[in-house]
């Protein structure tokens, strides 16, 4: 790949008020850019709560991220948050990356961008670390009962950040980044 076409990785993670992207909403988003060549964090990290109506709030969601509804009601609207992300991380310079991003985060983000009347410009080129982890384990001859992020963290000895470990959006980005870097040593 020629250098002028290389895109940096935009590690994205969302916390939501439920698990169904057709009815549930993003309540928190975290992001950090990773230099594609050096795999070092580039620029500033970002995290924000996002206002959500919570019309379809699932109680189990709060057990995962611990964000109380009162914090969500006082959060900035999605269009404001998503425009901040676009200002910090231009779509033409980044490719989305994350754990199970294709099956979860990107689905929520596409819906949120549509509702905020913002164009979705990342296309379909997304680096999903979950299937990459399965492939790396297969190549290394490692068999696990589960190929979850928890399993990757445990296998690779990745440490969390803070008391929440990896349930806040930015904390998840940091953990996923560390997992991505550590996976290289298994190959």
What pLDDT is recorded for position 46? 98
Q: Report domain extents, the chain.
A: 3-186
What's the confidence (pLDDT) of residue 125?
82
In this predicted structure, what is the pLDDT of residue 126? 92
User: Which percentage of the chain shows pLDDT scores above 90?
Assistant: 71
* Residues 154-180 pLDDT 10s: 999 998 755 554 478 999 999 999 999
In the predicted model, what is the mean pLDDT of the chain? Answer: 90
Measured in whole angstroms, how far is the alpha carbon of residue 125 from the centre of its chain? 15
Q: Read off the pLDDT band of 119 (50, 70, 90).
A: confident
54-80 in b/e burial notation, b at 16+ Cβ within 10 A? beebbeebbeebebeeeebeebeebbe
Confidence of residue 120 (pLDDT cuts 50, 70, 90): confident
Q: How many residues does the chain have?
A: 187
122 pLDDT tier (thresholds 50, 70, 90): confident
Which position has the token pair 């790949």? 1
CATH annotation of 3-186? 3.30.420.10
Which pTM value belongs to this model? Answer: 0.91
Is the pLDDT reported for residue 152 higher than 70? yes
Q: Is the pLDDT of residue 19 over 70?
A: yes
**Is the CB of residue 142 less than 8 Å from the CB of residue 161?**
no
């Amino acid at each position: 790949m020629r250098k002028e076409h290389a895109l940096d990785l935009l590690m994205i993670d969302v916390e939501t008020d439920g698990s169904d992207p057709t009815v549930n909403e993003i309540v928190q988003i975290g992001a950090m850019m990773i230099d594609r060549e050096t795999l070092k964090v580039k620029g500033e990290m970002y995290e924000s709560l996002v206002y959500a109506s919570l019309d379809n709030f699932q109680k189990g969601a709060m057990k995962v991220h611990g964000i109380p509804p009162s914090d969500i009601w006082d959060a900035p609207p999605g269009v404001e948050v998503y425009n901040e992300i676009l200002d910090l991380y231009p779509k033409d310079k980044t490719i989305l990356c994350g754990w199970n991003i294709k099956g979860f985060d990107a689905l929520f983000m596409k819906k949120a961008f549509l509702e905020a009347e913002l164009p979705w410009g990342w296309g379909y080129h997304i680096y999903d670390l979950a299937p990459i982890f399965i492939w790396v384990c297969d190549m290394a001859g490692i068999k696990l009962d589960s190929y979850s992020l928890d399993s990757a963290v445990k296998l690779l000895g990745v440490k969390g950040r803070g008391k929440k470990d990896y349930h806040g959006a930015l904390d998840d980005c940091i953990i996923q980044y560390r997992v991505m870097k550590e996976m290289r040593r298994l190959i």
